[in-house]
Amino acid sequence: MLRGSVRHRVAWWGLTLLVACSSPESPEPESPSPAARAPERVNVALAGRVFDLDFALTPAQQQRGLGGRTSIDPFGGMLFAYPQPRPLMMVMRDCPVAIDVAFLDARGRVLDVYAMRPEPPRAAGESRAGYEARLRRYGGRVSAQFAVEVQGGRLADLGVGIGDTLMADWEGLLRRARGNGR
């Protein structure tokens, strides 16, 4: 059952806070590098269906997350990888589309799932701190190694829930995360 991308990593009561679907605070470079324009992709099987996900491995990729997207492909989304398991939290900042998120262990077993809904945009005159404080937090109940974000409603449509195992080269992805210098 669902209970409810990545912009900033902020220490928040000892948890890693991942902020999904927000625009960057500083403008993008006018000529982004090819890697910035075409993120690496990784295939993950959810309930027997193969999803082609953006691979958010570096802090910059995780900071950008699914920010700026007005839609998510039905078989697309993002995979976040971390060198060590830790409590992860996501929020919806400036994101107009619903996202489902699954938090996974090192073997791809689903530990927790949430249906994240768009938040009202930052109001005229609302401080950044006030806006941040009112955003709903998703996660933080378990230590996870990976997070998978897909189009809102997809996890429920596919019957993906706690205890299910998603299929991918988790060992290879962990080696990549651990070799990323973090």
Assess if residue 27 is contained within a domain: no
User: Per-residue pLDDT tens for 152-170?
Assistant: 999 999 999 999 999 999 9
CA angle 171, 173, 176 (to 5 degrees): 110
SS3 28: coil
Instruction: Supply the range of the domain harboring residue 87.
Output: 9-22+40-178
- Cα gap 5→54, rounded to integer Å: 11
Q: Count how many domains the chain has.
A: 1
Is residue 62, in this structure, part of any structural domain at all?
A: yes
Does residue 4 lie in a domain region?
no
101-110 pLDDT tens trace: 999 999 999 9
From CA 154, how far away is CA 159, in angstroms rounded? 8
Task: Tell me which residue of 65, 69, 62 sits closest to 86, measured CA to CA.
Answer: 62
Mean pLDDT of the chain: 80
Distance CA 17, CA 8 (A): 7
Comparison of pLDDT for 15 and 54, the residue scoring more: 54
Reported as a pLDDT band with limits 50, 70 and 90, residue 124 is very high
Q: Of 87, 144, 137, 89, whose CA–CA distance to 117 is shortest?
A: 137
What integer pLDDT is reported at residue 182 of this predicted model?
46
What is the model's pLDDT at position 58? 83
Place of tokens 């974000």: 149
The predicted pLDDT at position 30 comes to: 38
How many angstroms separate the CA atoms of 134 and 63, rounded? 20
pLDDT band at 125 (very low <50, low <70, confident <90, very high): very high
Residue 102: give its domain's CATH number.
Answer: 2.60.120.1140
Please state the rounded mean pLDDT for residues 70-89. 94
Which among 9, 27, 30 is positioned nearest to 18, based on CA atoms? 9
Q: Which of 31-40, 60-69, 76-85 has the lowest average pLDDT?
A: 31-40
In-domain check, residue 153: yes
Question: How confident is residue 90, by pLDDT bands cut at 50, 70 and 90?
Answer: confident
Q: How confident is the model at residue 34 (pLDDT cuts 50, 70, 90)?
A: very low
In this prediction the pTM is: 0.79
